[in-house]
A and B are shown apart, each in its own frame.
Chain A
Amino acid sequence: MSAFQPSEIDRPTLARDRSAADADLKSVSAALRRAELGDRMRSLLLAAPLLVLLALSFGIPIVLLLSRAVYDPTIADALPKTTAALAGWNGQGLPGDDAFAALAADLKENQVKGTAYELAKSLNARLPGARSQVLKTVRKLESADGQAALDTMKSVPFWSVPSTWPVIQSGTSSLTSFYLLSALDLRWNADGGIERVPPEQAIFIQVFLRTFFVAASVTLATLILGFPLAYLIANVPKGLAAILTVAVLLPFWTSILVRTAAWTVLLQKFGLVNDFLLLIGVTSDRLDLMYSRIGLVIAMTHIQLPFTLLPIYSVMRTIPPSQMKAAYSLGARPFTAFRRIYIPQVFPGVMAGCMLTFILCLGYYITPALIGGAGDQLISNFIANYVNVELNWEMAAALSFILLVFTLALFGIFARVLGLDRLKLV
């Protein structure tokens, strides 16, 4: 009898067992994955309501606002015939008579629909002086048709200026870079390149620089005032530290508006700050601190000081005093020990506090509006002004766009380099 090869019987059994075990293992891990997926889905479901609400109340509004900076269909919507007539125009010299006739027809149409003023305003934003010209032409066109309308158009010199038509042509495209460039004091020139606007029209670069300058001054002032106080709080006995902390937190907990109101009272010509300066003999005359740059920086420094101080303090309290003593006992002079042992360790806290204050200063609105003078208005004030007074949403959107880019870029660096845990907003 030939030897029964046990392996031949066993092999399939073994294989079956193994595959069964594999299957079990697979089903277990699948079940685990399913369970984990279920957990994740539940977590996602828990977070969903707030995320949806934030998208609706915060995300969509901002995206919508920013889109206004690059998307402006007013002119294209108001001038459909002109849009068609200018489609093939090369932008050199003046377009043909058909474009003039089309514009005349469009203008009459706008007058009938009652949208002429809106069109005039929108053209005026891109072509200063266009508002009155459009309204004048519309009035003249009222009784003119056909050849008469064309003659009317030709009789208004504004429409025969070569630089008028490229602007109309660019306006007939709804997507525009005009406002974003304007927000940086730039514009397209006749050759299709980008150039600076003439100095008398340039305003925004100056406002951005002013915003950065005020933010940097305030950041520096808060650091000079805050760093020693943070050091003191971190190095005195607990009870005293608690009292000093309260002194920092009381203003921190008071709203920006209330503190700005307090400073408006203090900075008056006959207010306490002037009283104090006279008393100690720094000045011999009462200063105009309200509506001035210095008053603005003082008030903003007061408001931002805790924001700079708290991240620094939270690092300082983790540094054991024995380190400095060790440095001294090894022969380091106080300044050397401070520079080589202390500063490198507190540096992340200093960076966090300064960056946070700088970022928040870029967006200041209330304090400049109430304490700053006409020459101290920051970029946020210009945005609000374009919405409230000028009703120029596109320009407000473009300025918001650029301010937001700066803010989010700095916030991104903050989150990446220092980590969000260093954000002391609470």
Chain B
Amino acid sequence: MLLSPYPTTGERIRITLLWIWCGLVILFLLVPILIPVPLSFNSGAFFIFPLEGISTRWYEVVLGTQRWQSGIGNSLIIALGTTVIATTLGTLTAIALSDEKFPGRRIIMPLLLSPLIVPVVITAVGSYLFYARVGLASTYAGIILAHTALASPFVVVTVGASLTGFDRNLMRAAAISGAKPLTSFFRVMLPLILPGVLSGAAFAFVTSFDEVVVVQFLASASQRTMPLEMFIGLREKLSPAITAAATLMMALSILLLLVANILARRSRKS
């Protein structure tokens, strides 16, 4: 499609240059995220190629020491809490917004998306200030609440997209057949929009699991998450354990977001 059936020399040169340029851009995109992977299996303590040898010693550090273990545990607690709340409330809101007669729909949508646009330091500092007054600073509840604000827009968007393909007459049919609203939600609507909901949940989980700025301001020393340990480690002393942690986090988010995108695509098609 790039080349016409009878390409001129000039066209050939242009297309060749385009390919070379794009090849370099792809390298620029992929090499940086792939580099930490071999380095994390290095048996030496430095970041220099060639590797001294293959070992899993840095993974043993990340998965075996108390500091990192508690970080992983905290990340899981916070991300799971955020996922449950953001998915539930975000799905309800998406259903409400999918009704075209919803009052103020055009105002609410930008407001819902604003946590993604407002610089996260402002959100973090504001939460720190407010939560300290109401006793939520240094609590899991506080961090989960702040993360829900950052994660719920993703749920509203993905569930909203899957609802555009949902035929509201099905709900009317269910009501005429005598189903209570709650029954028709669980038996008719939810099964059909489930891929969108799960996709939103995966986005919410990754958003919270990867988040580091809000945590930096709100978490006490015992609530440090895995990304926060990484951030602190990067500031203090660069250890190969960080490349192991980075590889683990990258694998987790790529895996979850791959699933999320496949689900989202499927729900949009149906």
Known: A57-B127, A60-B130. A334 touches B18 (CB 8 A): no
- Taking a contact as CB atoms under 8 Å apart, the answer to whether A251 and B115 are in contact is no
Q: Is the CB of A228 within 8 A of B119?
A: no
A-B contact count (CB 8 A): 267
**Interface flag for B154 (CB, 8 Å):** yes
Contact status A254-B146, CB under 8 Å:
no
Among A264, A265, A266, A423, chain B packs the most CB atoms within 10 A around the CB of A265
Contact B210 A255, beta carbon cutoff 8 Å: yes
Taking CB atoms and an 8 Å cut-off, the chain A residues in 250-304 that contact chain B are: 250-251, 253-266, 268, 270-272, 275, 302
Assess A228 versus B21: contact at CB under 8 Å? Given A46-B93, A61-B131, A253-B257.
Answer: yes
Interface positions of B from 55 to 91, Cβ below 8 Å from A = 85, 89-90
Q: Chain A 36-72, CB within 8 Å of chain B: the 1/0 string?
A: 1001100111110111011011101110110010000
Q: Is the interface of A mostly helix, strand, loop or mixed?
A: helix
Asked if A94 is an interface residue, CB under 8 A from chain B, the answer is no
The stretch that binds B, out of A21-29, A81-89, A190-198, A358-366, is: A358-366
Bound form: Cα–Cα A182–B177 in Å = 67
B176 CB within 8 Å of chain A: no
Q: Are A36 and B101 in contact (CB under 8 A)?
A: yes
Q: Please name all residues of chain A whose beta carbon is closer than 8 Å to the beta carbon of B120 when the two chains form the complex.
A: 363, 365, 380
A244 CA to B19 CA, complexed, in Å: 12
Within 8 A of B (CB), among A215-247: 225-226, 228-229, 231-232, 235-237, 244, 247
Which residues of A are found within 8 Å of B242, using beta-carbon distances?
261
Q: Are B39 and A251 in contact (CB under 8 A)?
A: no
Q: In angstroms, how far is the closest chain A Cβ from the Cβ of B27?
A: 9
What is the CB-to-nearest-CB distance from A12 to chain B, in angstroms, rounded to a whole number?
41
Contact B116 A54 (CB under 8 A): no
Partner of B254 from the list A253, A272, A305, A334 (CB cut-off 8 Å) is A253
Segment among A98-106, A110-118, A144-152, A402-410 that sits at the interface with chain B: A402-410
- Distance in angstroms between the alpha carbons of A65 and B97 in the assembled complex: 30
Interface residues on A, range: 35 or more
For the complex, is A136 an interface residue (Cβ under 8 Å from B)?
Answer: no
Interfacial chain A residues near B2, Cβ < 8 Å = 232, 235-236
Inter-chain contacts of B14 with A (CB < 8 A)? 334
| One of A39, A244, A253, A328 near B101 (C-beta < 8 A) | A39
Q: Measured between alpha carbons, how far is A383 from B22 in the docked complex, in Å? A: 38
B122 close to A254 (CB less than 8 A): no
Which of A53, A225, A258, A321 is within 8 Å of B25, CB to CB? A225
Interface string of B233-270 (1 = CB under 8 A from A): 01100100011001001100110011001001000000
Smallest CB gap from B158: residue in A: A426
Asked if residues B118 and A262 are in contact (CB atoms below 8 Å), the reply is no
Q: How far is the CB of A110 from chain B (nearest CB, A)?
A: 23
Taken residue by residue from 206 to 221, chain B's Cβ proximity to chain A (1 for < 8 Å, 0 otherwise) reads as: 1000101100010000
Contact A384 B25 (CB under 8 A): no
Distance, CA A266 to CA B210, complexed state (A): 21
The answer to whether B90 and A50 have CB atoms under 8 Å apart is: yes
Which residues of B come within 8 Å of A, CB atoms? 1-2, 4, 10-11, 14, 18-19, 21-22, 25-26, 28-33, 35-36, 39, 47-49, 85, 89-90, 92-93, 95-97, 99, 101-103, 108-131, 145-146, 148-149, 152-154, 156-158, 203, 206, 210, 212-213, 217, 227, 230-231, 234-235, 238, 242-243, 246, 249-250, 253-254, 257-258, 261, 264
What 9 pairs between A and B have smallest CB-CB spacing? Answer: A363-B119, A61-B126, A255-B210, A46-B96, A47-B96, A65-B126, A50-B89, A61-B130, A58-B149
